[in-house]
Amino acid sequence: MPGRVPPPEGDEVAAGQLATALLEAALAHIRAGAEEMEAGRIALAGASLREASRIIIDLHTALDRDRAPALTAALAPIYRWVCLRLTDAALLSDSSRAREAERAFEPIATAFHRAIGALGGHA
C-alpha cells in the first residue's frame, strides 16, 4: 500500500521500551519527590527530584535530532522546563513546582507507553 509506514524493527521497539521505562521511572521519582516534600521529608524529596532530573537529562541527551527533528523540537523544551521546575522545587522546598513538573511530564510518559503498547512492545 503506497504511503504506508513499515512497522518498526526489533531494535526500534526495544529502544522505545527503554525510553518508556525511563519516562515512567522519572515520573515515579517526580511523584515520590512531591509526596515526600508534602510530608515534610525534604532530604528524601530532594533525592527523588534529583534522580528524576538525571533521568530526564539523559532522555534529552538521547534525542536524535537528525532522525526525529519534529519529536526533538517538541520534547526538548518540555524536558528542559521540567528539569528547571524540579530544581526550583528542590531549592525552594516547594511541592507545587514538583506537581507542575508532574503535570507537564505525565502526558509524555503516557503517550510513549500507549505507543509502544500499540506496536506490540507491551510497555
Q: Give the CATH number, domain containing residue 71.
A: 1.20.120.340
> Is 21 inside a domain boundary?
yes
At 6, the pLDDT band (50, 70, 90 cuts) reads very low
Task: Tell me how crowded residue 116 is: count the other CB atoms within 10 A of its CB.
Answer: 22
Answer with the residue of higher pLDDT: 16 or 99: 99
- pLDDT of 13 > 80? The answer is no
> Is 81 inside a domain boundary?
yes
> Is 7 inside a domain boundary?
no
Long-range contacts of 81-84 (CB under 8 A, 24+ apart): 82/30, 82/56, 83/53, 83/56, 83/57
At 10, the pLDDT band (50, 70, 90 cuts) reads low
> Is 110 inside a domain boundary?
yes
Q: What is the reported pTM?
A: 0.86
Residues 106, 121: Cα–Cα separation, whole Å: 20
> Is 44 inside a domain boundary?
yes
Number of domains forming the structure of the chain? 1
> Is 37 inside a domain boundary?
yes
Domain enclosing residue 84, as ranges: 12-118
pLDDT digit string, tens, across residues 34-70: 999 999 999 999 999 999 999 999 999 999 999 999 9
> Is 58 inside a domain boundary?
yes
Residue found by looking up cell 535530532 in the block: 65
Please provide the average confidence, as pLDDT, over all residues in the chain. Answer: 90
- pLDDT of 122 > 90? The answer is no
CA 90 to chain CA mean position, Å: 18
Residues 61, 75: Cα–Cα separation, whole Å: 11
> Is 25 inside a domain boundary?
yes
- Contact assessment for residue 37 and residue 89, using Cβ atoms and an 8 Å cutoff: yes
